Chain A
């Protein structure tokens, strides 16, 4: 990856984002040309400028950073804002402020993190903090939409599971890179199934606690994502396929248990298997999602032309159904492509990390981003049982958006650090 001082590619790729924001605000202004709606243009121009500010920040402070991540992040966020405005203008305004906050968080990370190795020092602090958050949520959390996954601090509410994602990635990356000998253990053993319990013990405890806490909150989507994240990070660190198989087997057994224990899991599975008989009840959402997508066809109904009232939770978990209906197969595939590019570039950058911790950290971030996208869209398209998770960057949600910007900021910063000539280019396998 060569160094490009001007980061021209990034600057050019932000142009379509600016065009999109302006087109979106013009469209909504044209639909309701009231003087009080002129703020739309201010919002669009301001946001486009802020993305360029971040771009110049990268030019000055992170020259070798990946040039696609920022424009794609900006593009997906802008699309999200456009759909949200159609669903509920108030939500879009709030999301706009969350985006600005996210950009501040991203800028902060890019400026503050000059070296990432110190993060590894605090791995136990981070994971204890993460577990504490989740325990707190179980004890005093609020219940919204069937899941007890919110913490309130006065007026301010947030979903701790979002923060915990970042903490878990740092912990896993640090732990796996530090104890990789006992975990990989190829060198001294001919037995591929040898498992060092001293090495694996803490991982099993932490992973088990995380998932149990999330299942108790009924946040099955987050549990699924954490499980996938831990499993794939263990695979990347150890290269042992049988661990993945074992993990999947354990997951299958646990799911079966959950199926028999919890009626709401049974409902989810029934909807997944065949939503049509339940179309008036619990299957309503997924069936309406299908109608919205089908209505879109190849080219879509057009931005602002769908009827969002047909899909419950359209602004959060089901924003992709709105996008697919309004943009059609071509537009929705393009969105999927953009998400895939983030995963591809992030994992590619991780592969060029000079050390294992960096590799696992960047890899974990990119992996989490992809997994979350796959879980929610897979649920919407009925490839997986539907679990309530947000679509990164596009769904409405402050905690989710800010944390995603924070994590993408860290990823961008890491790609710059990996590419810098000061980075010791010692690749370890």
Chain B
């Protein structure tokens, strides 16, 4: 009996050891996730002790503020609902309210120390006011230009990576969220879904910029070459059609008229590895925004077949990209091949709406040589001047762009338009996608034109 007893003693001690492991899993390993969980009432209680900071746009216009009655008020309403988000005792938080919670709640920096003492002394804790890189007026204009259609707009300052607008449509009303919550969660148009960061779409012909960049890198003689477009290209067992038989054309013409034959052929020539490498340099398969959830853009996990490679080269097949990703591709080309890391939080201040100088550019990576970028820029100017993007032309301002009409299983093509302006010294790069709207030039062009002309005139 003694042996049995001592054996069962060991079993019991092992069970206690198991409890310690389970305890460690909750208190140490899964801790962060649980502490940040939206349903965690400790978190809400801690947040309620702090006077949450207010949110301003790049020019000091309020985006989220406290009313006299102590209500959180969002002046942009639907238009700013995705990047600014909401904060609610029962529904948690989203957008900047969630992404920059530690600034808004004064958990870091000097305010963090101050609040620690305030907490001990029983005083009022306060968070930082923050300034976003968003331009509130541009954001609002973008939202109204989408006119309730499903889609997204991302605008970036190419030289700095500052995100000027991050529109997702349809939006929601952050000022009356709790009453409408069920309506929003059951709505098939998914107004709570941030399409700009989390929506992945086949990029269609806008992806030809990535293929073009890889092709230019591989073949310096590319500009001298003449291509022949008979209206289709023969692949393994199938034909890939072009919009029309373009006949004899150069690489630059190929971009301007968005010739599928030229790019399918280039895709096959450069091969999968180079294509993936160039896409990766632009940010595919990466998170893009530090600390903010962004869906990874991708060429698919599977190795590509010959047909798959040709389809990918025209932005179809397995390629999927977020609007933010395509805005970055455009911004890097506009910025002479330097990709500035994008960001949303410009500055913070202890009180009021006066903010110190914007944070410096986080980092820039050279993703294209200056000359490659120059070729692509000129080709994109051609797109707008005489190619598929003529709808984006603006008097007196040289715009560069690329259209895309991405075929998809959900109906009409998604309309894409990526652009930058002014071409000689770009101030803005923008990517627009309108779901199932049809051709990119016809549907995206006017939106791009309005956005760019408004933004450039606001700079004067």
Q: A297 in the interface, Cβ–Cβ < 8 Å? A: yes
In the bound complex, how far is the Cα of B8 from the Cα of A238, in angstroms?
A: 12
Chain A min CB distance to B9 (Å): 4
Residues of chain A contacted by B16 (CB below 8 angstroms): 336-337, 339-340, 343, 370, 374
Q: B117 in the interface, Cβ–Cβ < 8 Å? A: no
A301-336 to B contact mask, C-beta < 8 Å, 1/0? 000001100100000000000001000110011001
A307 near B19 with CB under 8 A, answer: no
Instruction: Name the CB-closest residue of B to A427.
Output: B2
Q: A residues 327-362 with Cβ under 8 Å of B?
A: 328-329, 332-333, 336-337, 339-340, 343-344, 347-348, 350-351, 356, 359-360
Q: B residues 11-44 with Cβ under 8 Å of A?
A: 12-13, 15-16, 18-20, 22-24, 26-28, 30-31, 34-35, 37, 39-43
Q: B395 in the interface, Cβ–Cβ < 8 Å? A: no
Chain B min CB distance to A336 (Å): 5
Q: A115 in the interface, Cβ–Cβ < 8 Å? A: no
The CB with the most chain B CB atoms within 10 A, among A294, A337, A347, A428, is that of A294
A359 near B37 with CB under 8 A, answer: no
Q: A239 in the interface, Cβ–Cβ < 8 Å? A: yes
Q: Are A429 and B1 also in contact (CB < 8 A) when A293-B23, A367-B12 are?
A: yes
Chain A min CB distance to B287 (Å): 25
In the bound complex, how far is the Cα of B54 from the Cα of A310, in angstroms?
A: 29
B28 near A295 with CB under 8 A, answer: no
Q: Are A333 and B34 also in contact (CB < 8 A) when A290-B26, A307-B45, A359-B5 are?
A: no
Q: A49 in the interface, Cβ–Cβ < 8 Å? A: no
A350 near B5 with CB under 8 A, answer: yes
Residues of chain A contacted by B41 (CB below 8 angstroms): 288, 291, 307, 310
In the bound complex, how far is the Cα of B9 from the Cα of A154, in angstroms?
A: 42
Q: A residues 362-382 with Cβ under 8 Å of B?
A: 363, 367, 370, 374, 377-378, 381-382
Interface size on B, residues (CB 8 A): 32
In the bound complex, how far is the Cα of B75 from the Cα of A141, in angstroms?
A: 61
Chain A min CB distance to B391 (Å): 48
> Among A296, A306, A367, A383, which residue has its beta carbon within 8 angstroms of that of B8?
A367
A235 near B9 with CB under 8 A, answer: no
Q: A222 in the interface, Cβ–Cβ < 8 Å? A: no
Instruction: Name the CB-closest residue of A to B29.
Output: A294
Residues of chain B contacted by A287 (CB below 8 angstroms): 39
Instruction: Name the CB-closest residue of A to B11.
Output: A232
Q: B459 in the interface, Cβ–Cβ < 8 Å? A: no
Q: B121 in the interface, Cβ–Cβ < 8 Å? A: no
Residues of chain A contacted by B31 (CB below 8 angstroms): 294, 297
Q: A292 in the interface, Cβ–Cβ < 8 Å? A: yes
> Among B6, B22, B35, which residue has its beta carbon within 8 angstroms of that of A294?
B35
In the bound complex, how far is the Cα of B42 from the Cα of A292, in angstroms?
A: 8
Secondary structure dominating the interface of A: helix
B42 near A307 with CB under 8 A, answer: yes
B23 near A332 with CB under 8 A, answer: yes
B194-230 to A contact mask, C-beta < 8 Å, 1/0? 0000000000000000000000000000000000000
B1 near A359 with CB under 8 A, answer: yes
Q: B124 in the interface, Cβ–Cβ < 8 Å? A: no
Instruction: Name the CB-closest residue of B to A294.
Output: B34
Q: A128 in the interface, Cβ–Cβ < 8 Å? A: no
B8 near A336 with CB under 8 A, answer: no
Q: B4 in the interface, Cβ–Cβ < 8 Å? A: yes
Q: A298 in the interface, Cβ–Cβ < 8 Å? A: yes
B1 near A370 with CB under 8 A, answer: no
Q: B3 in the interface, Cβ–Cβ < 8 Å? A: yes
The CB with the most chain B CB atoms within 10 A, among A328, A383, A427, A428, is that of A383
A290 near B22 with CB under 8 A, answer: no
Instruction: Name the CB-closest residue of B to A377.
Output: B19
Residues of chain A contacted by B28 (CB below 8 angstroms): 297-298, 329
Q: Are A383 and B34 also in contact (CB < 8 A) when A239-B1, A429-B2 are?
A: no
A381 near B35 with CB under 8 A, answer: no
B27 near A236 with CB under 8 A, answer: no
Instruction: Name the CB-closest residue of A to B42.
Output: A295
B19 near A383 with CB under 8 A, answer: yes
Q: Are A428 and B9 also in contact (CB < 8 A) when A288-B41, A340-B16 are?
A: no
Chain B min CB distance to A391 (Å): 12
In the bound complex, how far is the Cα of B40 from the Cα of A227, in angstroms?
A: 36
Residues of chain B contacted by A360 (CB below 8 angstroms): 1
Q: Are A356 and B42 also in contact (CB < 8 A) when A296-B27, A297-B28 are?
A: no
Chain B min CB distance to A149 (Å): 25
B12 near A351 with CB under 8 A, answer: no
A333 near B23 with CB under 8 A, answer: yes
Residues of chain B contacted by A336 (CB below 8 angstroms): 16, 19-20, 23
The CB with the most chain B CB atoms within 10 A, among A180, A332, A337, A348, is that of A332
In the bound complex, how far is the Cα of B24 from the Cα of A347, in angstroms?
A: 27
Instruction: Name the CB-closest residue of A to B15.
Output: A374
B1 near A374 with CB under 8 A, answer: no
Residues of chain B contacted by A343 (CB below 8 angstroms): 9, 12-13, 16
Q: A residues 280-294 with Cβ under 8 Å of B?
A: 287-288, 290-294
Q: A279 in the interface, Cβ–Cβ < 8 Å? A: yes
The CB with the most chain B CB atoms within 10 A, among A239, A291, A428, A429, is that of A291
Q: Which 6 pairs show the lowest CB-CB distances between chains A and B?
A: A294-B34, A347-B9, A340-B16, A381-B22, A329-B27, A291-B40
6 interchain pairs (CB within 8 A)? A239-B3, A291-B34, A292-B42, A336-B16, A339-B16, A428-B1
7 additional A-B pairs beyond A332-B23, A359-B5, A381-B26, beta carbons within 8 Å, are A290-B34, A324-B27, A340-B13, A344-B9, A347-B9, A351-B6, A370-B16
